[in-house]
Amino acid sequence: MSFTPCKRLLSAGYRVFFLLAGLFGLLSIAIWTLWQAIYGAFDLPVALPQMWHAHEMVFGYGSAAVAGFLLTAAPNWTKSGPEPLSFFAATSGLWLLGRLAMWLSGDLPALLVAFVDLAFLPVLAGRILQTLLKRPKPQQLILLAAILVLWLGNLLTHVEWVGLSADTADQGLRGGLLALCALIMILGGRVTPAFTRNAMLREGREENLPSNPAPLAAMAIAPALLAALATLAGLPLQMAGAAALLAGLSGLIRVALWRGAWTRNQPILWVLHLSYALNALGFVLYGLAAIDLVSEIAALHMLGIGGVGGMTLAVMSRAALGHSGRALIAPRPVALAYALLPLAALSRLAANLSPDLYMPGIIASGLLWTLAFALYSYALWPVFWGEKQQKPAPA
């Protein structure tokens, strides 16, 4: 069947949602960084600028990346056919309406903004559940639990914004971010050692392959989800911190067993290892923040930039290349983007180390992130809009 570029874009989850995630990651942080750099020179149309930034990176960017992955992977897991174009048009439109409502939240009724923004994830989860029930497996259904926790975080933010509570937005934003990072513990913990093992076997290596013990995986995943739930429930920070510390330390041990050094000449692989490690480090920092040893804001940005940003960029680019039939070799602009995001995370960390570094660190971090997503969007633009190549790349 011959498709126009627009129909091709709407023919697969990895096309439309990974493009939207890339463009939104680029534009939202570019606007935010400019607003920070010339603070007070212009007004944003959002109701709460600081909250808008945090909300949109977690529930805007994060939900698009999750949607693109699951709507691509779930049909493969269950051997079911692709979704129709009408479904991708409707769901991507719903996601865009949520972003527009949040952008205009300064002029729209808070209840309308909440209704529009909260609609996307339940639609996504319902479709994924319908797909997974064709061949249900517990290790796949747990993803829906993480999506539910993510949605509950969004719900708590809007509960305060519509005036039904006085202090639930912060815990909703933090709980939502931790839910995304728990998803990385789950999905990153599967794909990183698996893809590394496959690459080693293709090159004839049959010894010292990545090791991924199930008990250690459980020690990373369960406390990560518990940290998100404890945060959403408003439990003492020390409880969420203890769970986060266990998750992070377990995650660091896991990634040390995955032979990351072997991937040093393959950016499309080492970025998975590095991003998983930064995500685990973010959990460790969050645990230390609970006992006032580090800045909580620094920990949250390590999770958001190094963990969520790094892993989603890695998975989106790999999935886009692989499912479009292209070689699993990161184009040079994308490989550069992989390297820029850890630098963005370090710059944001430096911003919390000294008052003199605060604004330079924030601006540097924003610029590095923006450049990374500009490179990603530019390099993969033909992949999202173009025809699928005939010979699929090896998984």
* Residues 32-53 pLDDT 10s: 999 999 976 788 999 999 899 9
Q: Which pLDDT band, with edges at 50, 70 and 90, does 387 fall under? A: confident
Question: Domain residues of the chain, as ranges?
Answer: 5-385
DSSP 165: -
> The CATH number of 5-385 is which of 1.20.210.10, 1.10.10.10, 3.10.129.10, 3.90.1150.10?
1.20.210.10
For residues 54 and 59, give the distance between their C-alpha atoms in angstroms, rounded to a whole number.
9
pTM: 0.95
Q: Which two tokens stand for residue 175?
A: 């709980």
* Residues 259-283 pLDDT 10s: 999 999 999 999 999 999 999 999 9
Q: What is the mean pLDDT of residues 240-269?
A: 97
* Residues 356-383 pLDDT 10s: 999 999 999 999 999 999 999 999 999 9
Integer distance in angstroms from the first to the last C-alpha of the chain? 25
**Inter-CA distances, 301 with 207, 296, 298, 345, 380, Å:** 37, 9, 5, 7, 26
Q: Which pLDDT band, with edges at 50, 70 and 90, does 1 fall under? A: very low
* Residues 310-344 pLDDT 10s: 999 999 999 999 999 999 999 999 999 999 999 99
For residues 105 and 33, give the distance between their C-alpha atoms in angstroms, rounded to a whole number.
20
CB–CB of 192/258 below 8 Å? Answer: yes
Q: Residue 249: how many CA atoms within 13 Å on its side-chain side?
A: 7
- 2 pLDDT higher than 60: no
**Inter-CA distances, 268 with 121, 195, 208, 274, 388, Å:** 29, 10, 20, 11, 20
